[in-house]
């Protein structure tokens, strides 16, 4: 295990985790809203926001899938040391992390079951940047509409059409985070 695996966690875990959890809840409750999320310093190429999400939401009983772009020994060791989360195949994951194209096809991730729709995966999508332009979002947590740049509008429309089943998404770029739950209607661009 490299020294980089032992560093980069929360400085003040209870406080940092509470702030990060609040930010994660806020962006999930307000789809397409962009917020700052920091506290972790994960190994490359994982962003600060994605690493902070994992430290906040994953533990030893939270299976994590790493896309090939993020599946390196430094990241594996960092996740194991800081969260204890097992690294698993896509089909068994509760969380998956990587770029959009690296996480394809998304059909291999759990979408829940009719009796237990909460047994679905959440994908943490690494993006070059987050932007409030592009597709139009409507639904719970959005007063009228909100714009958000999605990597593949049709895929998110198809995901929403499966509701109450489907995937939930976080988007990360540097220390920024946004979210798109399966309840959000996606239109256009």
CATH number of the domain residue 130 falls in: 3.40.50.11310
- Tally helices (H) and strands (E) across the chain: 5, 9
pLDDT (0 to 100) of residue 166: 97
For residue 45, the number of C-alpha atoms closer than 13 Å in the C-beta half-sphere is 15
pLDDT (0 to 100) of residue 72: 96
Q: Could you tell me which residues come within 8 angstroms of residue 126 by beta carbon, excluding any fewer than 6 positions away?
A: 45, 46, 47, 50, 69, 70, 97, 98, 99, 172, 173
Positive/negative CA dihedral, 90, 74, 179, 60:
positive
Domain residue limits at 127: 3-187
pLDDT (0 to 100) of residue 189: 67
Count the domains in the chain: 1
pLDDT (0 to 100) of residue 169: 98
pLDDT (0 to 100) of residue 188: 83
Token pair 């990060």 is found at 20
In the chain (189 residues long), the average pLDDT of successive 10-residue segments reads: 60 85 97 96 96 96 97 96 96 98 96 95 98 96 96 96 97 98 92
Q: What is the pTM of this model?
A: 0.94
Token pair in block for residue 105: 């096809």
Gap between the Cα atoms of 86 and 68, Å rounded = 16
pLDDT (0 to 100) of residue 7: 66
CB 157 within 8 A of CB 186: yes
Long-range contacts of 22-25 (CB under 8 A, 24+ apart): 23/177, 24/53, 24/56, 24/57, 24/170, 24/177, 24/179
Query: Which of 135, 185, 173, 141 has its CA nearest to residue 26?
Result: 141
Cross-strand pairs, 146? 137
């Amino acid at each position: 295990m490299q020294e980089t695996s032992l560093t980069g966690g929360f400085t003040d875990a209870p406080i940092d985790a509470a702030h990060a959890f609040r930010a994660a809840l806020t962006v999930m409750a307000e789809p397409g809203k962009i917020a700052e999320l920091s506290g972790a310093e994960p190994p490359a190429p994982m962003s600060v926001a994605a690493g902070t999400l994992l430290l906040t939401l994953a533990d030893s009983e939270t299976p994590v899938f790493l896309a090939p772009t993020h599946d390196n020994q430094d990241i594996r060791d960092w996740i194991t040391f800081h969260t204890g989360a097992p690294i698993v195949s896509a089909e068994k994951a509760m969380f998956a992390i990587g770029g959009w194209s690296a996480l394809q096809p998304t059909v291999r991730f759990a979408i829940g079951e009719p009796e237990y729709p909460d047994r679905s995966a959440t994908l943490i999508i690494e993006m070059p940047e987050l932007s409030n332009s592009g597709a139009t979002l409507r639904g719970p947590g959005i007063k009228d509409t909100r714009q958000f740049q999605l990597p593949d509008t049709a895929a998110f429309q198809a995901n929403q059409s499966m509701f109450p089943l489907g995937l939930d998404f976080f988007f990360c770029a540097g220390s920024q985070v946004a979210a798109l739950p399966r309840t959000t209607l996606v239109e256009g661009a």
